[in-house]
Structure formats: C-alpha cells, structure tokens
C-alpha cells in the first residue's frame, strides 16, 4: 500500500490522494486499439528501413546467396520488425550493427590484409578486434553489475547495463564483419560465422545477453545482471583460452557436413535454447541465495525470480525442440538417417527430456521454489556437457566440433 494511502486512512488525518499512475500507464491501460493501430509513424519508418536494408543486401550480395539464403533473409525481416515494435531498445541496436558492419566492410576495400594496417579495422572493426571489445565489455559489465548489487548503487547497475548493450553491439558487428572476411579469403571459403566452437561461443554470449537485457527491461530490475553476466564472462574466458591455445579465431573452410543451408537455421535455434537455459540457471542461483537470506534485500521478489526462470526455460525448450527437429532433417540429408544415436544426438535428447520433465512438473504438479531452482541449475550442467563435454570426451559423426 502506498504511504499516502496509509496516512489518509487514519482518523482525522487529511485525505491525501494516492500517487497517480504515470501517463504511459494510463495510456497502456486505456488504449483498447489493436496492436497495429497503436503503431506510429516512427514504427512504420523503422519497418521500412529494415525492408530497404534487406533489399540492399539482396541486390549487393545476391551472387553469394543461394535460394535458401535469400529465403532466410526475407523471413528474418518480419521477425526483426516485430521485435523492434515490441522491444524498442532493439531498434538502436539494429541500426548500430548495420552502420558499424557496413563501415567495417567499406574499410576493407576488398583487401583482407588491411585488417592489420587500417587503423579502424586494426583496433575496432575487424572481426577479431570487435570480438575482443565484446569480451572486454562483458567482463567490465559483470564487474559493474556486482558493484551495483553489493553497494546497493543504481549507478553500478546502470553502467553495467550500458556496457552489456555495447558488448552485444560489438559482438554482432564482429560476426557480421567475419562473415564478409570469410568471402575475402575465397568464395569457396565464405560462410555464415556459426560453424565452430569459437564462433558459437560468441553467438551464445550474445543471445544470453540479449535475453537478459529483455528481462531487465521487462521486470525493471538490474540486480540479476550480476548473476547472468557471470556465465557470459565464463564463456568469454573459454573463448580467450581457446583462441590462444588453438588459434581458433582463424577462419577455416567448412567441412563437407557443414556445407548446408540447414546450418543457418539449426545452429541459431539451438543457441537460443542454450542461452535461455543458461539464463534460467543463473536466475536459479539468485533464487537460492535470496531464499537463504544472502543479498535478499537486493534481489527481486521470489515470485519474480520464479517467473523469469519459468519463462526462460519455456522459451529455450521451444527453440531447442525446433533445433532438434531441424537437426534430424539435416542428418537425413547429410547422412541418410534422421537419428543415429550419435553421442551429440543422445545428449541433445537428454537435455530435451530434462527440460520437458521440468516443464511437465511445473504445469501439471505446480513445481516451484528451491527444487525448481536446483533443477534449473543442474540442467545447466547437463546442457554444458551436451554442448562442450561431448566435444571434449566423446567422438562420433559430430567429431568436426572437437576441441
């Protein structure tokens, strides 16, 4: 109850009106128009800009695209339009990615060697430089989120949030420029940069961060950043080790099994699942800490943490299911069978069954509390082994992904 309401309820106390809702809240509650009718001129200009950008990409780079590439690009546009309409901060991110990626491409002048000589490429916009900036910004964001949480300072969380946005921007720019760099090496080498552990760890970090930023805005809290950014920083740490130990940042030609358009849709769907599962696990850690009184007054209510955990697992499960189906179709095309009990496939099934059971218990039995949180955290360990452990310790048809 609002304090002004309490004071007005005392006998003889002057009646003080409760704090009125913000104008935006009044507008949202009173506007019964359909979603499309609520869109303004700027919303439609944003959609037009995306359509124009896709048209530019098709006209400029159509020679490097097959039918399926063009289809994926065309289908991506409405998805990004709806995302920008529903989540306004994503618009500026998309504009920044497009502007910086095109700038980096232009600085190359068709010569890959300029990555070591052109100032902006060498220090900012080549794929390696941009991904290094992403890595540093994620680690700094983690630090500031923790400063904000431990000191109860909103400034620390605000800086951490801005650094996370900047890290996502530089990471996507790095991937876009890397895509172009692969074609500079050779037309037969060029491919979308989601084909090896180095590239998918970048993708994992970006997807996990984007989901976190969405929930941060939706629930109006930055205190979860200290937890979620830990798993992203761990991924960045692996990325740096892997680059140094294996020179993994070098662009390599695709192995035959990966020379398929299925990769362009299977891998992103898979990592939306992985990113959502990782986020739910770290929210589970926050839940367990609050339940035990650790940082209890600095974290959202248990109901909020439970809701974020549930929504993350639900979204991740949906995309992981889609990815598994796409993977089976890809396997049928590449190897002649939908399922072969390869170690990677077997562990993907284990991951799927784990989260299917979690959701079943949630929806049918009302799973809540510390059991759900521990289960989400355990699920991250299972998912990590399926993602990374299989590559390290087991072999099979997916051996091209070994460390």
Q: What is the mean pLDDT of the chain?
A: 88
Q: Is residue 81 part of a domain?
A: yes
Phi, psi of 28 (to 5 degrees): -70, -35
Nearest to 251 by CA among 172, 188, 193, 171: 193
Among 58-67, 209-218, 288-297, 369-378, whose mean pLDDT is lowest? 58-67
Q: Report the alpha-carbon distance of residue 59 to residue 46 in Å, rounded.
A: 20
pLDDT at 171: 98
Q: Which two tokens stand for residue 155?
A: 């400034």
Tens-place pLDDT, residues 12-56: 444 444 444 444 444 444 567 788 888 999 999 999 999 999 999
Residue 398: predicted pLDDT: 62
Q: Which residues fall within 8 angstroms of residue 310, CB to CB, at 6 or more apart?
A: 362, 372
**Long-range contacts of 70-73, Cβ-Cβ distance < 8 Å, separation of 24 or more:** 72/261, 72/264, 72/265
Please, what is the angle between helix 302-335 and helix 197-219, to 10°?
Answer: 150
Alpha-carbon distance of 155 to 161, in angstroms, equals 10
Structural contact between residues 402 and 392, judged by C-beta atoms closer than 8 angstroms: yes
Classify residue 277: in a domain, yes or no: no
> How many Cβ atoms from other residues are within 10 Å of residue 330's Cβ?
20
- Give me the pLDDT at residue 31, please: 60
What is the distance in angstroms between the CA of the first residue and the CA of the last residue of the chain?
56
Taking the whole predicted model, whether its pTM rises above 0.75 is answered as yes
Tell me whether residue 70 is in a domain.
yes
CA 170/CA 282 separation, integer angstroms? 24
Give every CB contact of residue 188 below 8 A, 6+ residues apart in sequence: 253
Per-residue model confidence (pLDDT) at position 60: 87
State which residues form the domain around 47.
43-86
Residue 193: pLDDT above 80?
Answer: yes
Give the residue among 184, 183, 176 at the shortest CA–CA distance from 112: 184
**Which pLDDT score, from 0 to 100, does residue 211 have?**
97
Confirm whether 58 is domain-assigned: yes
Which residue shows structure tokens 């991506």? 76
Residue 218 confidence (pLDDT): 94
- Mind listing the pLDDT tens digit for each residue in 59-115? 988 887 878 888 888 989 999 999 999 999 999 999 999 999 999 999 999 999 999
Say if 78 falls within a structural domain.
yes
Q: Read off the tokens for 51.
A: 């359509």
C-alpha closest to that of 72 among 268, 329, 243? 268
Exposure letters 350-383 (e unless 16+ CB within 10 A, then b) = ebbebbeebbeebeeeebeeeebbebbbebbebb
47 assigned to some structural domain: yes
Rounded to whole angstroms, the Cα distance separating 89 from 23 reads 20
Instruction: Say which residue, 260 or 105, is predicted with more confidence.
Output: 105
**In this structure, is residue 102 part of a structural domain?**
no
3-state secondary structure the chain: CCHHHHHHHCCCCCCCCCCCCCHHHHHHHHCCCCCHHHCCHHHHHHHHHHHHHHHHHHHHHHHHCCHHHHHHHHHHHHHHHHHHHHCCHHHHHHHHHHHHHHHHHHHHCCCHHHHHCCHHHHHHHCHHHHHHHHHHHHHHHHHHHHHHHHHCCHHHHHHHHHHHHHHHHHHHHHHHHHHHHHHHHCCCCCCCCCCCHHHHHHHHHHHHHHHHHHHHHHHCCCCCHHHHHHHHHHHHHHHHHHHHHHCCCCCCCCCHHHCCCHHHHHHHHHHHHHHHHHHHHHHHHHHHHHHCCCCHHHCCCHHHHHHHHHHHHHHHHHHHHHHHHHHHHHHHHHHCCCCCCCHHHHHHHHHHHHHHHHHHHHHHHCCCHHHHHHHHHHHHHHHHHHHHHHHHHCCCCCHHHCC
In total, how many domains does the chain have?
1
Asked if 355 contacts 316 with a C-beta cutoff of 8 angstroms, the reply is yes
pLDDT in tens, 18-30: 444 444 444 444 5
* CB-based contacts of 32-38 (< 8 A; 24+ apart in sequence): 35/85
Domain presence at residue 279? no
pLDDT on residue 400: 53
What's the pLDDT tens digit per position in 317-354?
999 999 999 999 988 887 888 888 888 889 999 999 99
Tell me what pLDDT residue 69 has: 81
């Amino acid at each position: 109850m609002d304090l002004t309401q309490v004071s007005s309820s005392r006998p003889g106390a002057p009646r003080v009106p409760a704090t009125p809702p913000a104008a935006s809240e009044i507008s949202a509650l009173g506007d019964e128009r359909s979603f499309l009718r609520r869109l303004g001129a700027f919303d439609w200009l944003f959609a037009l800009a995306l359509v124009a950008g896709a048209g530019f990409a098709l006209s400029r780079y159509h020679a490097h695209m097959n039918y399926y590439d063009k289809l994926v690009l065309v289908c991506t546009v409405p998805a990004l339009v709806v995302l920008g309409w529903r989540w306004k901060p994503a618009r500026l991110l998309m504009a920044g990615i497009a502007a910086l990626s095109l700038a980096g491409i232009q600085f190359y002048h068709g010569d890959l060697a300029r990555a070591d000589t052109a100032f902006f490429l060498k220090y900012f916009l080549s794929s390696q430089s941009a991904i290094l900036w992403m890595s540093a910004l994620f680690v700094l964001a983690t630090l500031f989120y923790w400063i904000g949480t431990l000191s109860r300072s909103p400034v620390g969380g605000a800086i951490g949030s801005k650094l996370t946005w900047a890290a996502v921007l530089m990471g996507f720019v790095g991937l876009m420029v890397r895509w172009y760099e692969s074609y500079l090496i050779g037309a037969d080498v060029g491919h979308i940069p989601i084909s090896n552990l180095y590239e998918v760890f970048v993708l994992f970090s970006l997807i996990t961060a984007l989901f976190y930023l969405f929930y941060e805005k939706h629930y109006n809290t930055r205190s979860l950043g200290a937890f979620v950014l830990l798993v992203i920083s761990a991924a960045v740490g692996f990325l740096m080790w892997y680059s140094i130990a294996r020179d993994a940042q070098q662009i390599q030609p695709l192995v035959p099994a990966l020379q398929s358009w299925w990769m362009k849709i299977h891998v992103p769907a898979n990592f939306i699942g992985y990113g959502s599962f990782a986020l739910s696990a770290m929210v589970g850690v926050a839940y367990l800490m609050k339940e035990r009184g650790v940082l209890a007054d600095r974290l959202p209510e248990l109901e909020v943490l439970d809701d974020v955990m549930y929504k993350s697992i639900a979204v991740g499960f949906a995309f992981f299911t889609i990815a598994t189906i796409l993977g089976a179709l890809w396997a049928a095309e590449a190897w002649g069978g939908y399922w072969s009990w390869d170690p990677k496939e077997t562990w993907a099934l284990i991951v799927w069954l784990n989260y299917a059971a979690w959701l079943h218990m949630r929806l049918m039995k009302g799973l809540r509390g510390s059991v759900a949180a521990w289960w989400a955290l355990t699920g991250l360990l299972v998912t990590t082994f399926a993602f990374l452990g299989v590559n390290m310790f087991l072999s099979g048809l997916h051996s091209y992904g070994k460390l």
